[in-house]
Amino acid sequence: MGKISIETGRRIRNYRTNQHMSQEALAEKCGLHPTYIGQLERGEKNATLESIGKIADGLSVPLSRLLENIGAENDGENIPLEAYRILQERSETDQKKLIQILKLSVDLLK
């Protein structure tokens, strides 16, 4: 599968695991099959927009956030995009800690 499918699957898995939800629980909330959720998370299947919408609802995440910056190219020059991807892949607790560290670091640069 392509990079977009892989990145979308990784994003779904991150949101799901951050909520301590199993693939089965997410599938039940979405009305989808657990095997399909696993295939999406591994980037083995292309999801329809309808399925992505159901998954976003099941995760209680806005569809726009679930798809934010997916497919955006990063050639090493787009530092904010790289920072976003690093943050997005972490738990909410880790994200909050990293933001605090970033803010403290910015203060030190003044």
Task: Give the 3-state secondary structure of residue 13.
Answer: helix
More confident residue, 59 or 90: 59
At 45-84, the pLDDT tens digits run 999 999 999 999 999 999 998 888 887 765 667 788 788 8
Q: Closest Cα to residue 4, out of 62, 72, 55?
A: 72
pLDDT of residue 69: 80
Q: Closest Cα to residue 59, out of 94, 92, 98, 83?
A: 92
pLDDT of residue 76: 61
More confident residue, 38 or 70: 38
pLDDT of residue 68: 84
Q: 15 φ, ψ to 5°?
A: -65, -40
- Give residue 90's identity as a one-letter amino acid code: R
Q: How confident is the model at residue 85 (pLDDT cuts 50, 70, 90)?
A: confident
Asked whether the beta carbons of 59 and 26 are under 8 A apart, the reply is yes
Q: DSSP for 13-46, please give it.
A: HHHHHHTT--HHHHHHHHT--HHHHHHHHTT-SP
Task: State the DSSP code for 60.
Answer: T
User: Domains in the chain, ordered, with CATH?
Assistant: 1-71 (1.10.260.40), 72-110 (no CATH)
pLDDT of residue 34: 96
Helix H or strand E encompassing 9: helix 3-18
